[in-house]
Structure 1
Amino acid sequence: MDSSRGHGGIQHLLAAEQEAQHIVNAARNAKMARLKQAKEEAEKEIAEYRAQMEQEFQRKLTESSGDSGANVKRLEQETDDKIHHLKTEASRISNDVVDMLLKHVTTVKN
């Protein structure tokens, strides 16, 4: 009877070992699944962060381009003001310049 009892104990140990192996395999598979999920979540967060940074970069690029557009407008206004000032001064003194040129051209020196 001892041999059947010993044989039954071995069967019981083999079944327990097999069950333990299934538990270890299930835990290993769960760990791998969790690692895969964590990796996917990290990649998603990275993509979102990258998109956010790209959007921020584009916004700053647009703002700086807008500033240069404002500078161009300011420079154009200053240029127009200077041209207007020069035309006003030229029209104001043009008669005096013409008179002076005529005087020097028509005066004969010996």
Structure 2
Amino acid sequence: MASNRGQGGIQQLLAAEQEAQRIVNAAKNEKSARLKQAKEEAEKEIAEYRSKLEAEFQKKVSDSSGDSGANVKRLDKETDEKIHHLKTEAARISDDVVAMLLKYYGADKTIII
């Protein structure tokens, strides 16, 4: 009888071990499935965010390139105005500069520029 009781106890322990192993495997499978789902959701969010940023970037690029012709014209106009202003100022003060140089160096000295 004692050996039957020992055998029954061993059978119970083996059954309990198998049940524990089944529970552990089920938990591992569930964890793996949750991780896979979380990864897929994260990849989807990343793709959506990347798409949104790309769209914003493309909009900015198209907006700035659309204005580039206007910017070039504006810069050309500003440059022409500055050149005209510099030429006007140079013409206005050139006589004074020549007079100052002649006074400083004297009329009889050669000026090398």
Query: Residue type of the partner of 1:34?
Result: Q
The structure that has the greater radius of gyration is 1
**Cα deviation code 1:24-81 (max 9, x no counterpart):** 2101211111111111121012112111111111210121122112111111110111
2:45 counterpart (61, 64, 67):
67
How many residues were matched structurally? 88
TM-score, normalised via structure 1 length:
0.71
Map of 2:4 onto structure 1: 26
Rounded Cα–Cα distance in structure 2 between residues aligned with 1:92 and 1:99 = 11
Query: Residue type of the partner of 1:84?
Result: S
Map of 2:13 onto structure 1: 35
Rounded Cα–Cα distance in structure 1 between residues aligned with 2:22 and 2:74 = 78
TM-score, normalised via structure 2 length:
0.69
1:47 counterpart (22, 25, 49):
25
What's the Cα RMSD here? 1.5
- Percent of residue pairs bearing the same amino acid type: 10
Map of 1:17 onto structure 2: none
Query: Residue type of the partner of 2:25?
Result: A
Rounded Cα–Cα distance in structure 2 between residues aligned with 1:75 and 1:33 = 62
Compute the displacement of 1:89 (Å): 2.1
Question: Which ranges in structure 1 are unaligned for 5 or more consecutive residues?
Answer: 1-22
Rounded Cα–Cα distance in structure 1 between residues aligned with 2:6 and 2:16 = 15
Map of 2:83 onto structure 1: 105
Q: Which runs of 4+ in 1 moved over 2 A?
A: none
Q: Please say which of residues 31-40 and 100-109 is displaced more in the overlay.
A: 100-109
Aligned ranges for residues 57-96 of structure 1 at < 5 Å?
Answer: 57-96=35-74
